[in-house]
Amino acid sequence: MTRIKRTISGLIGPRNMGRLDFVRNPGLKVSWEGPFNGQRLRHRIFIGILRAVPISAIVETGTHRGTTTAAFAATGLPVYSIERDPRYFGHSQIRFFARRRHVHLFEGDSRSCLTKLAANQSIPKEDVFFYLDAHWQADLPLREELDIVFANWRRPVVMIDDFHVPDSNYGFDDYGPGKRLDLSYVAPIFAAHRVSAFFPKASASEETGSRRGCIVLCAESDAARLAAGVEGLVRHS
C-alpha cells in the first residue's frame, strides 16, 4: 500500500496531493492544536499588538496548512503567507481559495519571497506585522528574514515562533551550534538595526497548547506603544 501511495503521489505531484489532503481529511485544518500552536495567551498578545499599533498588513513565513493563517485572515487585514513545501502549499491554496482576494499565498524560500514582497510597491511598507515560523528544516533562514524585514519595512512588528524565553520552561528550537533560537542568534539584528525585544509575561505553566516560546521585535520607535498597550508582553532590558 505504501508503494502504491508513493506511486500515486509521484504521478499527481505534491501540490495536488496537498489539495487531496484538504478534501479527504478536513481535520488537518486544525494543526498544532489550533492557531499559534493552540496557545491562547499568545493569541491574546497578537490581538493586543493589533490594538496597540496601527497594523496595515500581515506577512507570515511558514504557512504549513494554514491554521494560524486563518486567524490572521479573520482580522480582515491583507495577509501574505509564504510556504516552501509544495504539499502544504497546495493544501492552503484550496483552503483559502474563497479568500484569495485578501489572503495571498506564495510558494518558495522565505528569503527570496520576502525580497520579492519588499520590491512589490502594492504591498504596505510600514506598520506591518510579521510572523516568522519557517525554521523547522535544516536550513535556518530566520536571521536573513529579519535582516530583510528591518531593512525594507518601516516600523515592523515581528513575532518569532519557537524562540527561547529566558528563565522559563517554554519550548524552543535548537538546531545545533550557531542555530539555537535565542538572543545570541538574533544579536546581529540588534547590532544592524535599532530594535527592541519583548517576551511573554506569562509563564509556560499558564499557557495552553504546545507552550512554545516566542519573542516580539519592533523598531525602537514602537517600543513604548507595545510596552503600554500589550498587557501580555514584558520588555527585555
How many domains is the chain built from? Answer: 1
Instruction: Please enumerate in sequence order all residues whose Cβ is within 8 A of that of 99, keeping only pairs 6 or more positions apart, or say none.
Output: 73
CA angle 132, 138, 141 (to 5 degrees): 35
CB count in 10 Å sphere of residue 204? 16
Task: Determine the average pLDDT of the residues in 98-102.
Answer: 84
Name the pLDDT band for 21 (thresholds 50, 70, 90).
confident
**What whole-number distance in Å separates Cα of residue 213 and Cα of residue 200?**
8
> What is the pLDDT, as a whole number, of residue 7?
45
pTM over 0.85: yes
Instruction: Give the domain range for residue 110.
Output: 2-235
> What is the pLDDT, as a whole number, of residue 15?
78
> Which one-letter amino acid corresponds to residue 181?
L
> What is the pLDDT, as a whole number, of residue 100?
80
* The three cell numbers locating residue 16: 495536488
Strands (E), 84-221: 103-107, 128-132, 157-161, 195-200, 214-219
> What is the pLDDT, as a whole number, of residue 99?
81
Q: How far is CA 141 from CA 84, 127, 133, 146, 176, in A?
A: 12, 22, 10, 9, 14
For 43-67, give one letter per residue: b (16+ CB within 10 A) or e.
bbbbebbbebbebebbbbbbbbbbb
Tens-place pLDDT, residues 190-222: 989 999 999 999 999 999 999 999 999 999 988
Residue 121 sits in a domain whose CATH number is: 3.40.50.150
**What whole-number distance in Å separates Cα of residue 132 and Cα of residue 93?**
19
Tens-place pLDDT, residues 149-165: 999 999 999 999 999 99
**What whole-number distance in Å separates Cα of residue 170 and Cα of residue 200?**
10
